[in-house]
Chains A and B, each alone.
Chain A
């Protein structure tokens, strides 16, 4: 029949199209990176690259995690600066430091020289928008001789060595920097692993860099798959598709074999931020009532399935020095009774915000809603995707926000977080806190050069902030990393900055 033959022709015409799509589809997702040589680590990471492995974006963390790049320094277990590309350093005067470089080479074969370091730091300083780690400092790097770099800052910067450990300030070879100001870490880092191929936002393959100054890595390479969905990540590990899966959501953690489940205290604290600038929480007694009503420990075993610690303050167990130096908050306002709350709010609704990006936060908001309603508040939730609500948050359109925040930012130093979130001119001051004593305490901590004293002052600032009840810490999160039983040497880092290094390998 005529129509049948027409249909046949159509089908025949479609067949190559079909095949073409599939092949290109398979290529696009990089099937060839699978099943490489034996011993390669297969890793499932959560956050896909956003800027094609540019160190000036969130990709920096990822480059650090996979040991692709290094800075002049690194952070040790206790969060102090440790040697990396610089084997030693000293502070010449409050604003000047000199760093002695070790003998190392870039993955493209060129040697790491003082000039290369200066070039890298200059590019980071000139990057637009300016990397966060450099946002409150102006530094100038100079090559003193072939393996000595002098770095001077405009104002005294006691945490400069910590700052330089940030993967954003990774030292890349000259080849990495394009004329338009962008940088790419593909094949230009100094770490034990070298990115050989990046396929969009789905896969990457890394090979061992044999010229690494710290010796050859034990694993011949890494195959990275980005899996944004937590359940899918857990499934990939359970199905044996990957050897390491990071950030297993608490809802999935119980499903993993106990031997593959590794929990790490994280530097993330979940808290309830109260808007002190406008709305009902301008009244300190209402804030105090909210603080007393809210019980974060109820969340630990329920929503977090045990993968969290009840909050002790802004800084949890992952910040090892915090517990010993904690100062009790004194002089807090007296909490309003439920009857007082009702009369003071005059029927005004408490607008409670939470964002959907982290699954636990909306659930937390619902628990908190019940706790707050018991204390006399009338609560209405607003739950949305973070970017959809950020402008409203910063504009003070909510009374309270359930928030998950990293308390040690890229400097590895707690002051940056306190300054941006709680000081009067902080740019991320969602609590809209304007308190002279807090400002003063944070400033004092920022200016302190001595490590122990700085930590003491940070804890004093924490007490000042908690006194205002602008923030009610709920829990300190734990991260669950899924690691197959035949993998050894995975780094469980509370700062989530490292994961795989020279010693990580398959048994």
Chain B
């Protein structure tokens, strides 16, 4: 592990990063090219079905398709042929429609990209709203208490497809403010951008809000405030400081929406890239699938480089010169409210699960269909007359268990790859724009339908936010003065990891992971149609939401229960860990704080651990 400052090894690191990108991109494209051969699903059959659903799959017909497409040549000949066409600006013709692929993909990409930009605007707005209080109070040095995180957790837990359905119905059909579907002009962009941007904004805002107090707590901010600098100026610099750590999250959270917004694209009938790639993947129509994958890879790399450049611009030479203090949150009390919220959520969930477990989640009663909440069915019944409370209760353990395991694996993988900074960066960029469905298809191709397949597929792509975050935080941490000091005192990598790197990285990454917990639940369920995950009628929260989605308007309680359960889980996870962190601050941080104070008092170094002294009194780029 390199702990040198970034500046001294810019060239080799760029080399390695490009190598990582190239390797990851090639591996991904090859995997996609092998898909039909791996899956054992005859592409001739899937293509025939896509062209003509009622066509009889006679051996002669299949042979005709196979010959037409040259399937017998095998995957590599196809890949080579497709790659050969790219320099000439040709991406082949679709196996299903026989039309040129490139115009289709570029058209869909433009649509999805525009939508993503819309979502980005909403994300920024929501994130600004979420962190506005902290910025205002922090810049005036009145941030004595941490703010509640409940609002953030609630917004981040909102399922995007549910939000989309809701917006389409309420603002599209009932009020008629915006078109309920289509892609005809700027007006039709509003609702989908909101559906995509609000949860993302809450997530980004939540992370930003968490790192802001640390920025305001830095000595330079205190000094500036004492000098009487305007709060706006302090706020601007604190934002620059905190944004640098949050920016990389935009890649897997917002940029990934270009390929990963299939559900919302369907609901609003947007001819985007996600749907194109999904349709192509289902039909095993390789040329469009490969081209879409390539477009997403390139997007990931370009966006990754752009974000990196932005970060560098924000942090300025401090990062390069190893003169950057890492952000460490002050132990501001989160307030009693947060603790109470955690307790209330825990109790509510416990009550939900225990009462639910006493009921039968599988009993179908078609006569008791879509009943509103009543004494007999406290949360109502679903389209098959099953008790929703029972289904929620029985699904809780499995849902939360699987989501937590997946999150843990993803966090671990993210940390490891985040530490392998240069190679990891390339890989992160390439994978973070990949839709989970693609990972799901690759997983089914290899393992076949299985209960653990969904978890595996999500693990394959779910680590990217944590890797991006860990890499960004580590880069800052490595550039900090105390690391250099530790090094010069002869600290080994193990020591650095234990006492400097992990304490700096783990808390924000965990917070990120917990904010993403509801999303993980939903993504896991979204792969059900590939035969991944538990099969119905097993109760599972994500499935409850997706199977009841068509009834949003007719019987809102069918989705209200599961959505509230997800929100409760999210609030519990986020505020619970916050409360726990406040009550028992990590010993490391405590000792650092005390030693930090000591160091400032003595103006020196104590016990092999320097404090962030030398650089601490300047703003990152001032």
The residues of A with any CB-CB pair to B shorter than 8 Å are 3, 6-7, 10, 18, 21-22, 24-26, 28-31, 34, 49-52, 54, 56-58, 128-132, 135, 182, 200-202, 225-232, 235-236, 238-241, 249, 251-252, 254-255, 298-299, 301-303, 356, 359, 362-363, 365-367, 369-370, 380-391, 394, 406, 409-410, 420, 427-428
Contacts and interface: CB of A to CB of B under 8 A. Distances in A.
A374 B295 CA distance: 52
A241 B181 contact: yes
A57 B52 contact: yes
Nearest to B367: A302
B269 A385 contact: no
B267 A200 contact: no
Interface stretch (B3-11, B92-100, B590-598): B92-100
Interface in B149-175: 165, 168-169, 172-173
A28 B107 contact: yes
A380 B58 contact: no
A382 B266 contact: no
Interface residues of B, number: 87
Given A50-B51, A235-B169, A370-B364, A7 B313 contact: yes
Contacts of A230: 550
B356 to A, nearest CB: 18
12 contacts: A7-B313, A29-B184, A50-B96, A202-B183, A226-B269, A236-B182, A236-B269, A302-B367, A356-B529, A387-B45, A388-B282, A427-B56
Contacts of B64: 128-130
B552 to A, nearest CB: 8
B429 to A, nearest CB: 19
Nearest to B535: A381
Contacts of B173: 235, 238-239
Contacts of A251: 383, 550-551, 554
B138 interface: no
Nearest to A386: B49
Given A132-B52, A232-B268, A303-B366, A25 B58 contact: no
B141 to A, nearest CB: 23
Interface stretch (B110-118, B195-203, B410-418, B602-610): B110-118
B228 interface: no
A51 B99 CA distance: 8
Contacts of A409: 54
A58 B179 contact: no
8 closest pairs, A vs B, by CB?
A302-B366, A28-B107, A251-B550, A129-B64, A384-B531, A29-B183, A235-B180, A129-B61
Interface in B20-60: 40-42, 45-46, 48-58, 60
Contacts of A384: 449, 529-531
Nearest to B40: A391
Given A132-B56, A228-B266, A255 B553 contact: yes
B182 A29 contact: yes
Nearest to B96: A50
Nearest to B67: A128
Given A57-B52, A132-B52, A239-B176, A22 B186 contact: yes
B436 to A, nearest CB: 15
B528 A132 contact: no
Contacts of B111: 25, 28-29
A24 B107 contact: yes
A388 B58 contact: no
A339 B614 CA distance: 83
Nearest to A366: B537
Contact of B97 (A50, A356, A388): A50
In terms of DSSP, what is the predominant structure of the interface of chain A?
mixed
Interface in B298-313: 310, 313
B180 A370 contact: no
A384 B527 CA distance: 10
Q: Which of A3, A28, A58 has the most B CB atoms < 10 Å from its CB?
A: A28
A132 B55 contact: yes
B240 to A, nearest CB: 8
A232 B266 contact: yes
Contact of A369 (B310, B537, B554): B537
B19 to A, nearest CB: 27
Contact of A388 (B314, B363, B531): B531
B291 to A, nearest CB: 15
A169 to B, nearest CB: 14
Interface in B530-587: 530-531, 535-537, 547, 550-551, 553-554
A50 B64 CA distance: 18
B316 interface: yes
Given A25-B110, A132-B52, A3 B314 contact: yes
Contact of B536 (A49, A303, A370, A383): A383
B279 to A, nearest CB: 8
A229 B62 CA distance: 30
B68 interface: yes
B266 A229 contact: yes
Given A302-B385, A359-B550, A387-B283, A58 B53 contact: yes
A31 B114 CA distance: 15
A201 B271 contact: yes
B554 A390 contact: no
A179 B117 CA distance: 43
B185 interface: yes
Contacts of A34: 184
A425 to B, nearest CB: 10
Contacts of B185: 26, 31
Contacts of B13: none
